[in-house]
Amino acid sequence: MKTVLITGTSSGYGRATAVHFHAQGWNVIATMRTPRTGVLPESDRLRVVGLDVTEPASITAALEAAGPIDVLVNNAGVPSIGVFEGTSMAHAREVFETNTFGVMATTQAVLPQFRERGSGVVVNVTSSVVLGHMPLTAVYKASKMAIEGFTSSLALELAPFGVWAKTVQPGACLTTNFSARATHDTAPDELVPAPYAPWAKKVMDSFTAQEQFTKETDVAEAVWRAVHDTTGQLRFPAGPDAVWLAQAK
């Protein structure tokens, strides 16, 4: 029976992915920065483990608790919405610490066991912002584009050892807490400085008027496909809006 370790499983895509893999008979190590009960099925095949991907000691402890794994899904992330001029560099660094450096650190920690065993899959969850021209996401998109580049190079380094690296690119999902987290503790005039307000309203109105959106289950299914794909496909758009963007490129 195979084992997957998934980061950021307290809600959204991570939780849906943990549920999906568990339903398919896998052992699941569901990690959260602050472990909570009641958000995932109770099962002897599912363990909740604390993990802060920005803390090296936390990564080490989580992997020791997990034991051998077959798949790593880097899903934990920090959202960011707003005009770049109003974005503090402290916030930008916070986004990169989790979305970019946290993914790199967690990946680096599992590679020795994958390489020595001659098998394993790393799936990095990015975003459909990498597929199109999307305003109000400058810092967030930069952090995710970095992981797209990282993964494409990493895949070449790991191929000689029978290890795979892939990305999953979720579209826009209205049922996650992305927007609430992205605007938490941030004043509206910092997110959108006054001179940008009329333009930003048009952007957001256009976004909410789009006809296609992604569901959490779309992402879970795309991660499943990425893990099991042996064709060499590197990127897996998830959700109808992401698929449309990928095909339009």
Sign of CA dihedral 111, 113, 119, 122: negative
Annotation says 13 is catalytic: no
Read off the tokens for 124: 């990095």
Q: How far apart are CA 96 and CA 144, in angstroms?
A: 9
Rounded to 5°, the CA angle 132-138-142 comes to 80
Does residue 249 register a pLDDT over 90? no
Question: Judging by beta carbons within 10 Å of its beta carbon (0-12, 13-18, 19+), is residue 201 exposed, middle or buried?
Answer: exposed
Confidence of residue 159 (pLDDT cuts 50, 70, 90): very high
pLDDT digits (tens, 9 = 90+) for 17-29: 999 999 999 999 9
Does residue 199 register a pLDDT over 70? yes
* Least trusted range by pLDDT, from 17-26, 169-178, 194-203, 227-236: 169-178
Q: How far apart are CA 140 and CA 147, in angstroms?
A: 11
Domains and CATH numbers, the chain: 3-248 (3.40.50.720)
Catalytic residue among 13, 26, 114, 140: 140
Does residue 6 register a pLDDT over 90? yes
What residue type is assigned to position 32 of the chain?
M
| 168 closest CA partner among 96, 77, 98, 74 | 74
Contact status, residue 5 vs residue 31, Cβ threshold 8 Å: yes
Q: How far apart are CA 238 and CA 217, in angstroms?
A: 9
